């Protein structure tokens, strides 16, 4: 007869039993930290936290991978076989709960077990979609050469939607643990620290027999998976992967000389060919300045720029800045994408001394001249002391 804990006897000192082994506990709290860091940096903090986001996400996926192996070759309570029940048993448990006669479980209870599967699965799919997004949009990681920008952007949308779904699952998981703690009078979060739970009167709930653990096998498989997948993802480079459809590496000498007198020489992939054509035709009145050159130089630069800009460059800035503002067809900072990505930066920040203005991309983007604009290379400079007074 299952005991109902709503009306259970007053708590007595009871024997305790080891339930969560050291691996499970270490896994659980490391996953809290790494997933927390990935969600916080991805959903709330900006692109300048990208490196921490990659580290948190990679760590979470590596931990989940090892937990899946431990679910097959770990200690008895850690095994999937010990806590994943069929839908019939799950429904029964929920009915018993509703009627206030559900029993207590030494390991995960049925909805708890399903929640573990949902959390592990969601984190894995978020990780996979992240690698696709990273390859397609930022030309980084193992899929840099294999995925185009459009696919990467789609994967990034999925990545973001699943991150919100994961946040919802985490809220449910915590609520479930609190609910079950109140219902059974046993502090479940604490049990995930000490590893032990009270042994009450439920020999029937114990797994049939202690399982033989295979820590070396699990460690080996995890290390293999990490080396294969995560290491190549984390190998964030200062330069895009060779072979990826990336901007041309070398600037035309004349362009680099003539067009870097007042600002950085903007990478040709940052505007579509028509925009460069119109800009070069109006150098006499260039943003209120006279930037005109002799006709031969103007023609040569215009030609190089339009040819370079017409190359199939599949980077994020090339794809996104191609949508220009019709009223300002060659102003990068007026494109909808630029306005969206920089909306959170105040005018005061842009006018600070080491920055001088929105046009000065290189002040904040260390890789501005390469046309890559990798988020890990963003650093908004502080105002130097002598200028801040
Ligand atoms: C004051 C510093 C600053 C200046 C100047 C600046 N940016 Fe940015 N830029 C940022 C920051 C910060 C972000 C990240 C915004 C966020 O959190 O999503 C960003 C994001 C971007 C992104 C998107 C990166 C990504 O993968 O999400 C691109 C592309 C970009 N900037 C291009 C430019 C260009 C081109 C210029 C010059 C015309 C420029 N930026 C000038 C600070 C700056
Ligand atoms: C005499 C100085 C001067 C020279 C030379 C010059 N520019 Fe400019 N350029 C400017 C100014 C000023 C701006 C406006 C900056 C701002 O937004 O405050 C500008 C803006 C731009 C922008 C738009 C940046 C944005 O804010 O989105 C582009 C693109 C550009 N210049 C391209 C060129 C090219 C190509 C050449 C070489 C043919 C060139 N410039 C030479 C002064 C110059």
Rounded CA-CA distance 14/316 in Å is 61
pLDDT at 389: 37
Rounded to the nearest whole angstrom, what is the distance from the C-alpha of residue 138 to the centroid of ligand 1? 14
Q: How far is CA 308 from the centre of its chain?
A: 32
pLDDT at 233: 59
| Contacts with 258 (C-beta within 8 Å, 6 or more apart), sequence order | 293, 297, 301
Q: How far is CA 191 from the centre of its chain?
A: 30
pLDDT at 109: 86
Nearest to 248 by CA among 371, 362, 366, 376: 371
pLDDT at 120: 97
Q: How many CA atoms lie within 13 A of 15 on its CB side?
A: 7
pLDDT at 32: 97
| Contacts with 226 (C-beta within 8 Å, 6 or more apart), sequence order | 62, 65
Is 151 exposed, middle or buried (CB count within 10 Å of its CB: 0-12, 13-18, 19+)?
middle
- Give the mutation target among 272, 286, 364 for probing the ligand 2 site: most ligand atoms within 8 A of CB: 286
Of 77 and 37, the structure prediction assigns the larger pLDDT to 37
pLDDT at 333: 96
**pLDDT of 117 over the 60 cut:** yes
Nearest to 199 by CA among 13, 24, 68: 13
Average pLDDT of span 243-258: 76
- Residue labelled with tokens 């992939």: 269
Rounded CA-CA distance 227/240 in Å is 21
Q: Which is the closest atom of ligand 2 to the Cα of 259?
A: 37
Average pLDDT of the chain, as a whole number:
85
Pocket of ligand 1 (CB under 6 A): 46-48, 270, 316-317, 332-333, 341-342, 345, 349-350, 355, 358-361, 363-365, 373, 375, 378, 380
| Contacts with 48 (C-beta within 8 Å, 6 or more apart), sequence order | 375, 378, 379, 380
Is 174 exposed, middle or buried (CB count within 10 Å of its CB: 0-12, 13-18, 19+)?
exposed
Nearest to 361 by CA among 263, 295, 290: 263
**pLDDT of 110 over the 80 cut:** yes
Rounded CA-CA distance 68/74 in Å is 9
**pLDDT of 94 over the 60 cut:** yes
Among all ligands shown, which has an atom nearest to the Cα of 255? 2
Is residue 115 within 8 A of residue 90, CB to CB? The reply is no
Among all ligands shown, which has an atom nearest to the Cα of 278? 2
Among all ligands shown, which has an atom nearest to the Cα of 321? 1
Is residue 332 within 8 A of residue 270, CB to CB? The reply is yes
pLDDT at 75: 86
Pocket of ligand 2 (CB under 6 A): 258-259, 261-263, 266, 279, 283, 286-287, 289, 291, 301, 330-333, 357-359
Average pLDDT of span 1-18: 53
Q: Which residue's alpha carbon is at the smallest distance from atom 3 of ligand 1?
A: 364
- Give the mutation target among 259, 365, 366, 369 for probing the ligand 1 site: most ligand atoms within 8 A of CB: 365
Q: How many other CB atoms are there within 10 angstroms of residue 261's CB atom?
A: 9
Average pLDDT of span 352-375: 89
Q: Which residue's alpha carbon is at the smallest distance from atom 33 of ligand 1?
A: 361
Rounded to the nearest whole angstrom, what is the distance from the C-alpha of residue 376 to the centroid of ligand 2? 26
- Assign 381 a pLDDT band (cuts: 50, 70, 90): confident
Average pLDDT of span 186-205: 80
Q: Which residue's alpha carbon is at the smallest distance from atom 35 of ligand 1?
A: 361
Rounded CA-CA distance 354/370 in Å is 20
Degrees, nearest 5: CA angle 215-234-168 = 75
| Residue range 22-33, pLDDT digits in tens | 899 999 999 999
Is residue 27 within 8 A of residue 70, CB to CB? The reply is yes
- Give the mutation target among 373, 376, 381, 383 for probing the ligand 1 site: most ligand atoms within 8 A of CB: 373
**pLDDT of 1 over the 50 cut:** no
Degrees, nearest 5: CA angle 168-22-212 = 110
Q: Which is the closest atom of ligand 1 to the Cα of 357?
A: 5
Of 15 and 319, the structure prediction assigns the larger pLDDT to 319
Q: Which is the closest atom of ligand 2 to the Cα of 331?
A: 27
Is residue 228 within 8 A of residue 235, CB to CB? The reply is no
Region of 288 on the Ramachandran plot (φ > 0 left; ψ -120 to 50 alpha; else beta): left
Query: In the structure encoding, which two tokens stand for residue 280, read together?
Result: 């070069």
């Amino acid at each position: 007869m299952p005991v109902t804990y709503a009306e259970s006897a007053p708590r007595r000192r009871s024997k305790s039993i080891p339930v969560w082994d050291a691996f499970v506990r270490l896994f659980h709290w490391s996953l809290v930290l790494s997933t927390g860091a990935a969600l916080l940096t991805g959903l709330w903090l900006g692109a300048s936290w990208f490196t921490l986001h990659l580290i948190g996400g990679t760590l979470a996926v590596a931990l989940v991978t090892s937990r899946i192996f431990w679910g097959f070759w770990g200690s008895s309570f850690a095994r999937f076989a010990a806590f994943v029940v069929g839908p019939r048993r799950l429904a029964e448990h929920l009915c018993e709960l509703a009627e206030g006669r559900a029993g207590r479980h030494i390991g995960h209870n049925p909805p708890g077990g399903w929640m573990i599967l949902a959390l592990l699965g969601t984190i894995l799919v978020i990780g996979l979609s992240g690698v696709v997004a990273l390859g397609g949009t930022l030309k980084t990681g193992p899929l840099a050469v294999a995925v185009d920008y459009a696919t990467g952007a789609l994967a990034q949308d999925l990545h973001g939607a699943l991150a919100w779904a994961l946040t919802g699952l985490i809220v449910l998981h915590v609520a479930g643990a609190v609910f079950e703690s109140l219902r059974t009078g046993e502090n479940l979060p604490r049990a995930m620290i000490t590893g032990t739970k009270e042994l009450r009167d439920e020999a029937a709930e114990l797994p049939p027999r202690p399982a033989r653990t295979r820590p070396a096998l699990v460690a080996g498989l995890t290390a293999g998976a990490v080396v294969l997948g995560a290491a190549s993802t984390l190998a964030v480079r200062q330069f895009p992967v060779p072979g990826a459809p990336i901007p041309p590496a070398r600037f035309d000498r004349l362009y680099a000389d003539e067009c870097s007198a007042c600002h950085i020489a903007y990478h040709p992939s940052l505007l579509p060919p028509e925009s460069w054509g119109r800009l070069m035709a109006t150098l006499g009145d260039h943003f209120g300045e006279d930037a005109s050159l002799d006709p031969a130089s103007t023609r040569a630069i215009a030609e190089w720029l339009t040819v370079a800009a017409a190359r199939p460059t599949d980077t994020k800035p090339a794809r996104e800045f191609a949508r220009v503002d019709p009223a300002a067809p060659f102003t990068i900072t007026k494109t909808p994408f630029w306005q969206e990505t920089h909306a959170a930066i105040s005018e005061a920040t842009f006018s600070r001394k080491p920055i001088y203005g929105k046009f000065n991309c290189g002040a904040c983007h260390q890789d501005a001249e390469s046309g890559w604009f990798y988020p890990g290379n963003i650093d908004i400079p502080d105002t130097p002391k002598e200028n801040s007074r």
